[in-house]
Structure 1
Amino acid sequence: MSKNNSIPAEGMTGFRVHFQSDATSGFVVFLLALPLSLGIAKASDFPPLMGLITAIIGGIVVSFIMGSRLTIKGPAAGLIVIVAGAVADFGGGEQGWRYTLGAIVVAGFIQILFGVFKFGKLVDFFPLSAIHGMLAAIGLIIIAKQVPVLLDIDPVQTKGVSPLGLFAKIPYFLQHLDPKATVIGVVSLVIMLGWPSLKNSYLKKIPAPLMVLFVAIPAELMMDFQHTEPVYALVHIGDLLDNVRLNVDFHGTAQLGLFVKYVVMFALVGTLESLLTVKAIDLLDPYKRKSNPNKDLIAVGLGNVIAGVLGGLPMISEVARSSANVSNGAKTRWANFYHGFFLLAFVLLASHLIELIPNTALAAMLITVGIRLAHPKEFIHTFRIGKEQLFIFLITIFFTLYEDLLVGIAAGIVVKMLIHWFHGTPLTSFFKAPTVVSFEGNTYRVEIDKAAIFTNFLGIKRKLEEIPSGFQVTIDLQKTKLVDHSVMESLYHFKHEYESLDGGSVVLVGLEEHIPLSDHELAGRKKK
């Protein structure tokens, strides 16, 4: 908890007491969410307005039932790949969009069930190197799909081309770029990438996407895009009231295998991203409040059902907007509500301004997201944890680019299990780690036997979470043959969270005879 402040009040009391801080933060997040929601929708082959619909629902509806206080709900760049793939596979155009909505609605119901049956711990089953590989692959795919948009290439030229094919065609795109639109796109990209490095503290308070709009819209008006550029150069959204209706169509179930595939991907990847964001934002919360991940899944699932029925993109707890929410002083869930409220007001009162935005500027924002996800430092960081982690990371990226996200993360899991088997993990320990908890004096002792790896950590975590707060906890790993990186990081997360409550302490012992697989403090460890 913050040393100087008490826990912020919730409900209507929080609404009154924290109105200024929450409304201010919500307004800043609204400025971030407006162009990003449009860009994500367009990149997903959804009507651009539907990105805003999802963000509005995520703010105005989901805020009241979510299990986290400071996360922002809305469309995510990380799901662009799945959404665009679904639209294409379901026939493209309006039919592809409507059939995709059916998969989003069903996935939303599955997320609600995940929350009801307390599957919020699902995130701990997946190896971190595979998750980061999946996110890096998503970043590369976003970059591949947005480079031609940045250069204002006719969308017909890129339709149906794979991510690897798009990278291969970049020289062709450069030869056929539109000079005027590309200038705006490149300047926007420079602003997005360079803004965090600014020294001027006053300028840095302006969100980079908002600064892009300040530059791109006047430039577009000066060049008269509406009369001199093709129709695909500008955003087109239409009227909110004319477009919000029952847009979902479940006829996609006729292609049952395809429908199930996308339901699984929306439910799985959306759930993973949301849970990872909730965990990350809890660590940033100055008041050290702990979210209820299962309640949050129910809220996100309900939001996806509503958004899917009305035509919107799938929503998650989005990490960049949530981080901005924390850094701008938000105190309660009302900040998420205000972000949705300001979006709704803008769409109702000033939607004509949105149609002045060049698509190349939106592409620059999304390319920046892609660069952050697939930044070289992610490769370097993974390598430092261990060569085997980098191998899993790269395998996940390759199969995601070559096939799809499900195949990619499945390949990463299989490779990690094979590595564990090579390191001597008994097959009987892959899904169960004998864990004994004893209590003496003021100390809980947790002894883990055989192996502590990502596939059996859920059982270990269940035992850890049953320990009351405020005690000395000793986690003894002496009898393990292998402790993998995912478990090492999860144990340190547990230590951090437990010690933030009621003065308890956590000590890891028994690793003296284990050899670290790299110099990183959270590297996997194998017994000599």
Structure 2
Amino acid sequence: MSSANASTASTAKLTVPKDGLAGMMQNLKYDFTAGFFVFLLALPLSLGIAKAGDFPPAMGVLTAMIGGVLVALLAGSPLTIKGPAAGLITIVAGCVAEVGGGPEGWKMALGVMVVAGALQVVIGFMRAGSLSDFFPLSAVHGMLAAIGLIIISKQAHILLGIDPATLAGMGPVKLYAQLPNSIMNPNVPVAIVGILSLIVLFGLPKIKSPLVKKIPAPMVVLLIAIPAAIALDFKGTQPGHILVHIGDFWKEITFNADFSQIGTGAFWKYVIMFLLVGSLESCLTVKAIDSLDPWRRQSNFNKDLIAVGTGNTLAAVLGGSPMISEVARSSANVGFGARTRWANFFHGFCLFISMLLLIPVIEMIPNAALAAMLIFVGYRLASPHEFFKTYKIGSEQLTIFLVTIAVTVASDLLMGIGAGILVKFVFHIVNGASLGNLFSARYQLKQTGNQYYMNVQDAAIFSNLIGFKKVLARFEPKKEVVLDFSQATLVDHTFMEFLEHFEEQYVENGGTVTVTGFDRFQPFSAHPLAGRKAKKEKVSATAPSLDGSTSRE
């Protein structure tokens, strides 16, 4: 981030790929190749995610098909992959259990998802995509880490061949407590397949060969697990829960949603959870993938929410699990060379073909192999690196992160994210933010000729970030922007992340950004984007006169 000297863009922009049918023809070889490789990732993960949420496994594939073939055409982001995500497993499984359990619970959960999907469309039209900025990053990362720990708590037993019916009703703490017993009493042939799958998933990325890095690890797992299941005759010698069961997939695609629980508190609790967490994860993924886009295209968050909500509504009506813009598959999509939305379309189309032709092969997949994939996903969400990275940003960030994890694991996601936000507010108040400033963006703005001058006042934090974003979004490109923090008292980590992103984007569009006033701040850690507060010194009550009174958003 620049301090006193402005930054300038130094590289010429690449020619942006065309969109629409012209874009498909222009980039067919790139997008089809990327879509096919993402399909190889998505097929086993979609099966595993749906099963882990107590949905029929094939309904995860249905969702990914809709996310590709339909939602790709409506989406506001060019490179994201839409489909079921591990981050929603705990909500889906909790919803199914609370509204009835079993096949009936699945259908009642679909009713919840139809309403949540419709509301997602509504908030997209209300231009609420920016509301994702309200959530502090440490609380969001804590929520994702908690989801990872919850996923591992159950899937570790499945990997060892334990019947999931014996785990019914157990929360994460009990599941971890039960793990030593499962380790001592595994289904040995199944556990061997599961452990081999885990070794492949953790080991393959460590091989440095560029060729090996292009091979999707989940597909390698299937190439090992399916022949092993055939050789060991899992179909003839093992209980029914050991292999994936698809059944008559195409006959099951009908109107499946049940709204009989719509008058209950549980129904609306999970509507809020699906709406909040699904929308938040989608927006965060879109933001992350925009930063990886070689052409630096800016996605339309609201349009993307409308598209995802439309896909969720249709998927839920037909029986599918919930979808989001999924970060791991989207990142892989960029890595495989995708150029436009058609890569997502082709990934969905390949899934459609697989469900027409490959169901007998899919039913030879051991659930232990899918459990290994989900454990790997869970580990990435809750890896020690995430804890260390958060600690480096500041001890207060680690506290928020840990509180969010603890409350989420002990109760649910809504309580967890709420606890994280509450702790964040406490830290801000202790560090000098006034109650009246928590949601109010205070600044003075002056435009003279080719320059925007913004004097930021009081606290610039996650809960008033939307106000700052609105005014900065109105700045014309190719101007000189001066952001003066000499009258500010507190700037948090979420705001610092946004500031870095704004500067990067504005400079790429031909402008310059100068940030001043941070020399009088004390950072909470050595991390360049750590939160910081003004050193104890007398600060004048009002900023120097610019063009009138202080502005608030």
Q: How does 1:38-117 map to 2 (within 5 A)?
A: 38-117=47-126
Alignment equivalent of 1:169, drawn from 173, 178, 195: 178
Which residue of 1 is the match for residue 191 of structure 2? Answer: 182
Secondary structure of 2:260's aligned partner: helix
Mapped partners of 1:324, 1:364: distance in 2: 19
Contact map agreement 2:311 2:323 (CA 8 A) in 1:
yes
Which residue of 1 is the match for residue 248 of structure 2? Answer: 239
Alignment equivalent of 1:20, drawn from 5, 29, 35: 29
Secondary structure of 2:519's aligned partner: coil
Q: How does 1:147-226 map to 2 (within 5 A)?
A: 147-226=156-235
Alignment equivalent of 2:141, drawn from 129, 132, 137: 132
Alignment equivalent of 2:356, drawn from 348, 362, 371: 348
Matched, 1:505 2:526: no
Secondary structure of 2:358's aligned partner: helix
Matched, 1:359 2:367: yes
RMSD: 1.1
Matched, 1:335 2:333: no
Q: By how many angstroms is 1:156 displaced?
A: 2.0
Mapped partners of 2:433, 2:14: distance in 1: 48
Contact map agreement 2:13 2:295 (CA 8 A) in 1:
no
Q: By how many angstroms is 1:391 displaced?
A: 0.3
TM-score, scaled relative to structure 2: 0.94
Paired residues in the alignment total 526
Task: Supply the AA of the counterpart residue of 1:273.
Answer: E
Matched, 1:525 2:551: no
TM-score, scaled relative to structure 1: 0.98
- Point out 4+ residue stretches in structure 1 off by more than 3 angstroms: 1-5
Mapped partners of 2:471, 2:323: distance in 1: 32
Mapped partners of 2:433, 2:18: distance in 1: 48
Q: By how many angstroms is 1:482 displaced?
A: 0.6
Deviations 1:192-236 (A, max 9, x none): 011111123323321100000000000111000011111100000
Which residue of 2 is the match for residue 314 of structure 1? Answer: 322
Matched, 1:118 2:123: no
Gaps of 5+ in 1: none
Q: How does 1:113-512 map to 2 (within 5 A)?
A: 113-255=122-264, 257-501=265-509, 503-512=510-519
Secondary structure of 2:262's aligned partner: helix
Deviations 1:26-51 (A, max 9, x none): 00000000000000000000000100
Mapped partners of 1:34, 1:262: distance in 2: 27
Which residue of 2 is the match for residue 36 of structure 1? Answer: 45
Gaps of 5+ in 2: 1-8, 536-553
Contact map agreement 1:240 1:348 (CA 8 A) in 2:
no
Task: Supply the AA of the counterpart residue of 1:301.
Answer: G
Mapped partners of 1:25, 1:327: distance in 2: 8
Which residue of 1 is the match for residue 543 of structure 2? Answer: none
Mapped partners of 1:436, 1:53: distance in 2: 51
Secondary structure of 1:289's aligned partner: coil
Q: By how many angstroms is 1:5 displaced?
A: 4.1
Deviations 1:69-104 (A, max 9, x none): 000000000000000000000110011101110111
Mapped partners of 1:116, 1:354: distance in 2: 39
Kindly, what percent of the aligned residue pairs are identical? Answer: 53
Task: Supply the AA of the counterpart residue of 2:311.
Answer: G
Contact map agreement 1:68 1:292 (CA 8 A) in 2:
yes
Task: Supply the AA of the counterpart residue of 1:307.
Answer: A
Deviations 1:317-359 (A, max 9, x none): 0001101111111111011000000000010111111000000
Mapped partners of 1:280, 1:5: distance in 2: 20
Contact map agreement 1:437 1:463 (CA 8 A) in 2:
no
Secondary structure of 2:518's aligned partner: coil
Mapped partners of 1:436, 1:164: distance in 2: 51
